[in-house]
Amino acid sequence: MKFKVKTLSLFFLILMGLSPNLTQAASKSESGWFDRSHRIFFPKDGQETVALSQSFPAFWWNFVVLDLKENDFSAAHQLCRKLKAMTPNPLLRVECNQGLNDLESISRDWAQDLPLRTDRPSDAWIKSAFDSDLAQASLPTGDRTWLKFLQSDPLQSWRELLKLVENRIKIKLERKNGFFYDSESHRIIIPVQAAFNPAEIQKTKQILAALSDFTPKMVWVGPHESTLRNQEQVMQDLNAATHAGYVILVLLGGALLWLKRWQLLLLFPPVFVAVSGGAVVTVLVFGSIHGLTLSFGSGIIGLALDYGFNAAFGNKIQARNTWRSNWIGVATTLVGLFVLMQSAIPLLRQMMVFSAVGLSTGFLVFRFLFARYPDVLITRPFGVSFSPSPIKTSIIFILLASSIAGFFILRPNLDMKQFDFEDAKNQQTDQWLFKTLAMRSPLFTVNEGDKALIASQKEKQWAAQNGIAIETLANYLPTENEQSSHLMTWITGQTDCRRSPSMFPDVEMRFFSGFIESSLCKSPTRLKTLSAFSEARSYTQHLSAEGKWLTLWMPTDDGQELKIRQNQPTAHSLREALMAFPNILAKELSWMAPLSVFLVLIILLFYYRKLDPSWIALIPFFSGLGLFSLTAITFNLSVSFISVIALVMSFGFSFDYAIFAVDHYVKERTNGVWGAISSAAAATLAGFVPLLFTNHPVLKHLGQALCLSTLGCYLGAVWGIPGLIELRENLKKPRLRS
């Protein structure tokens, strides 16, 4: 039996080692139950616009920055040629060395829809336009691209479209040799619009691989490269953390075997059961589970190990008391989770449901296993004890003071920009670009499909009255009534080309046959309005996503921006939209954190029936907070809302340590309590320490806050609680004497 249990323990140790790989594999899978979207960060009302902002091609612009050797543009031309070879897919537009061929890609449908925008010109005007086209067609143009362009747009409507397109890109830099050029830094900027969502990182990877020859001198700045860079860094970090995790796991397993406590390895499988249970319920409730829920939530569920350690180091006689304390531990954690479940942020709600279900499952599984197999699972205590000393208590006081100081000194940075992982070169180029272009962030509004054109017309009119530049659907298409009125002039002007003699000479008839047949001759199928907008049009595709239409407002000063915001209350910048998550989180935590502490205090009061042990049970949490604050203030660590989330997680496990430590003094003195707390803290740290080996700000902040707060909580439990209880008793003694 002993051998079998030992073998089983080793098997589970291997299973634990595989678990990070399994999680990574799940995150890479394309299963419907696994969610990786950004929507989950935002409350329902703000969710759509923010999520959609990634879908509108108007937001898929990037900047390619190339360092030139003095005034040598040869590399710039090579780069431009290479980029243009990638149009129209994977790149929609490349703004360099604009030529006649570039117009062809944007004016496909524009020329075809001319009858919707203007009245039919006179025959003389059409004849003169044809002559002009034929003169241009006579030029040597290499291939047929330009000729086909002239044939498809003989009335030269592309000129109007070109003006609209040029208005979209407002860069205050001189154009030299066909490039936006900064003479001070000898750099060129090529605006590049991708034909795909930034989330499709494989496509970005392929583009960057194709441009690898230019890499030393070229930097790609924009949403696509940033998404790729961050995802690659996170994957790299997770690999590093996994490897560090293996080493720690081997050390932990080795330590348990060396200490002849291999039974403790059997406590890990129930955690996997708990995580699986939580995941299944989450998928059933929400339809899918987000990658962040799975990784962060599993960390919280992992705290169920604490209940296992407490029970394993207890004894059969005291089992009832142990499980009562465990029950209070799980209740205090669940209270925190339920409070956070009230958040407007779907991610937090999902994470808390997952954690609460997982934690409860873990608790119940442990309860069952220890009731059924106590002989297998209960082990000898380590015999660790912590006697209070003035130095230890002083350290705890310093930590408690630091936690108070932290409230006043530390201000979490809510800016999402800090989570954009950049190397020195990228950062320097990004800053230079921001300074050089000095572009104001445009504001955006979104209109619904059917009413989009009417709403867009109103926006256009208002913007024109106030002298504000606007990029909207109405710039490209008149209202349905106007379209019909224009169309009528074309329909009434049509002739039966088969019967009546042609008004154009033979060359014109043959060269412009497509246009003549579709627009000037009677045709039963052609010429209809675009009211329903069922057909995708190449000239408006940058403004369209999922049946919604984007309007971009481009204010030039604060006054214009204020006017837009007053007239369009839903208008906001992309940055503001992205800031919604940390802002809501900060606002919610400002009431959720005190409420959680208050509710936990009530549970503790109910449990201890006294005030003193109840507030002493808060010491580990505040020690953890204190150690984090002290380190952050001393070493100037960056504190973000991710750090705050980590501290919320530490709030959960701090009470597991606290209750057993306080119970040791106020309820029943047990031998195994300190070993259980130490084992639980060691297991928690073993899970979080690998995050210290990462470089991405999100994982780094999480690792720092979790490791420091765990250590602080542990010190608060093993040094703080004994010390403060002794201090309390010493203070009571003189009073009793008196």
Binding site residues, another protein, CB under 8 A: 73-74, 77, 80-81, 84-85, 96-102, 128, 131-132, 134-147, 156, 159, 175, 177-179, 507, 510-511
Gyration radius of the chain's alpha carbons: 34
The CA dihedral of 451, 455, 457, 458, to the nearest 10 degrees, is: 150
Alpha helices, DSSP H, located in 259-304? 268-286, 291-301
Min. distance of Cβ 81 from another protein in angstroms? 4
Name the token pair of 75. Answer: 């590399």
Name the token pair of 677. Answer: 């707390």
Please identify, using beta-carbon distances, which residue of 124 and 736 lies nearer to another protein.
Answer: 124
Q: Find how far residue 366's CA is from the centre of its chain.
A: 35
Three-state SS sequence of 449-503: CCCHHHHHHHHHHHHHHCCCEEECHHHCCCCHHHHHHHHHHHHHHCECCCCCCCC
Please identify, using beta-carbon distances, which residue of 85 and 464 lies nearer to another protein.
Answer: 85
Three-state SS sequence of 378-403: CCCCCCCCCCCCHHHHHHHHHHHHHH
Which residues are bridge partners to 220 per DSSP? 64
Min. distance of Cβ 435 from another protein in angstroms? 26
CA atoms within 13 A on the CB side of 295: 24
Helix pair angle (390-409, 721-737), 10° resolution: 110
Please identify, using beta-carbon distances, which residue of 174 and 423 lies nearer to another protein.
Answer: 174
Cis peptide before 88 (omega within 30 of 0): yes
Please identify, using beta-carbon distances, which residue of 102 and 153 lies nearer to another protein.
Answer: 102
Min. distance of Cβ 186 from another protein in angstroms? 15
Name the token pair of 480. Answer: 């349905």
Min. distance of Cβ 146 from another protein in angstroms? 4
Nearest to 219 by CA among 208, 230, 210: 208
Distance CA 317, CA 328 (A): 19
Residue ranges with strand state E in 425-465: 443-448
Please identify, using beta-carbon distances, which residue of 144 and 435 lies nearer to another protein.
Answer: 144
Please identify, using beta-carbon distances, which residue of 132 and 495 lies nearer to another protein.
Answer: 132
Distance CA 681, CA 208 (A): 44
Min. distance of Cβ 97 from another protein in angstroms? 5
Please identify, using beta-carbon distances, which residue of 85 and 439 lies nearer to another protein.
Answer: 85
Min. distance of Cβ 74 from another protein in angstroms? 6
Min. distance of Cβ 507 from another protein in angstroms? 6
| Cβ-contact 284, 369 below 8 angstroms | no
Distance CA 464, CA 475 (A): 11
Please identify, using beta-carbon distances, which residue of 131 and 546 lies nearer to another protein.
Answer: 131
Please identify, using beta-carbon distances, which residue of 80 and 584 lies nearer to another protein.
Answer: 80
Distance CA 188, CA 68 (A): 7
Please identify, using beta-carbon distances, which residue of 53 and 157 lies nearer to another protein.
Answer: 157
Please identify, using beta-carbon distances, which residue of 145 and 479 lies nearer to another protein.
Answer: 145
Please identify, using beta-carbon distances, which residue of 85 and 285 lies nearer to another protein.
Answer: 85
Distance CA 717, CA 705 (A): 18
Min. distance of Cβ 128 from another protein in angstroms? 7
Nearest to 184 by CA among 438, 436, 440, 439: 436
Min. distance of Cβ 157 from another protein in angstroms? 12
CA atoms within 13 A on the CB side of 402: 23
Q: Would you list the DSSP string of 96-138?
A: SS--HHHHHHHSHHHHHTHHHHSPPPPHHHHHHHHHHHHHHHT
Min. distance of Cβ 151 from another protein in angstroms? 10
| Cβ-contact 240, 694 below 8 angstroms | yes
3-state secondary structure of 645: helix
Distances (CA, A) of 300 to 275, 290, 696: 10, 15, 21
Min. distance of Cβ 134 from another protein in angstroms? 5
Please identify, using beta-carbon distances, which residue of 77 and 460 lies nearer to another protein.
Answer: 77
Please identify, using beta-carbon distances, which residue of 141 and 531 lies nearer to another protein.
Answer: 141
Please identify, using beta-carbon distances, which residue of 142 and 524 lies nearer to another protein.
Answer: 142
Core vs surface per residue 142-161: b (16+ CB within 10 A) or e: eeebbbebbbbbbbebbeeb
Distance CA 685, CA 657 (A): 14
Please identify, using beta-carbon distances, which residue of 135 and 391 lies nearer to another protein.
Answer: 135
Distance CA 683, CA 692 (A): 15
Cis peptide before 57 (omega within 30 of 0): no
The Cβ of residue 414 has, within 10 Å, a number of other Cβ atoms equal to 15
Which of the 8 DSSP states describes residue 289?
Answer: E
Please identify, using beta-carbon distances, which residue of 28 and 148 lies nearer to another protein.
Answer: 148
Min. distance of Cβ 106 from another protein in angstroms? 14
Min. distance of Cβ 428 from another protein in angstroms? 28
Helices first, then strands: H and E counts in the chain: 31, 13
Distance CA 15, CA 270 (A): 12
